Amino acid sequence: MMRRIVFGAVLLLGMSACSSEKQPASPSFDDVLTSRRSVRNYDASRTITEPEVRTLLAMVQDAPSWANGQPTRYYAAVSPDKVEAVKKLVGERNAENIAGAPVVLVSTFRKGLSGFFRGDATNEVGDGWGAYDNGLSDAYLILAARSMGFDTLIMGYRDADGLRQLFGIPEEEAVMAVIALGYRADDPTRPARKSLDEIVKFF
Domain range annotation of the chain: 42-187
- Give the dihedral of Cα atoms 154, 157, 160, 163; nearest 10 deg: -60
What's the confidence (pLDDT) of residue 7?
Answer: 35
Provide the residue type at 11 as one letter: L
Report the pLDDT value the prediction gives residue 97, as an integer from 0 to 100: 98
74 DSSP β-pair partners: 107
Q: pTM of the full predicted structure?
A: 0.87
Given this model, what pLDDT does residue 14 score?
A: 43
CATH for the 42-187 domain, from 2.40.160.50, 1.10.3720.10, 3.40.109.10, 3.20.20.140? 3.40.109.10
What is the biggest distance separating any 2 CA atoms in the chain, rounded to whole angstroms? 78
d(CA 38, CA 142): 9
Question: In this structure, are residues 176 and 74 in contact, taking their beta carbons and an 8 Å threshold?
Answer: no
Q: What is the pLDDT of residue 22?
A: 59
Residues 48 and 181: beta-carbon distance below 8 Å = yes
- Residue 113, classed as helix, strand or coil, is coil
DSSP letters for 58-99: HHHTTS--GGG---EEEEEE-SHHHHHHHHTTS-HHHHHHTT
130 CA to centre of own chain: 18
pLDDT at 25: 77
What does the pLDDT profile of the chain (203 residues) look like in tens digits?
Answer: 444 443 343 333 343 444 445 566 789 999 999 999 999 999 999 999 999 999 999 999 999 999 999 999 999 999 999 999 999 999 999 999 999 999 999 999 999 999 999 999 999 999 999 999 999 999 999 999 999 999 999 999 999 999 999 999 999 999 999 999 999 999 999 999 999 999 999 99
Rg (CA), the chain: 21
Residue 34, number of CB atoms within 10 A of its CB: 12
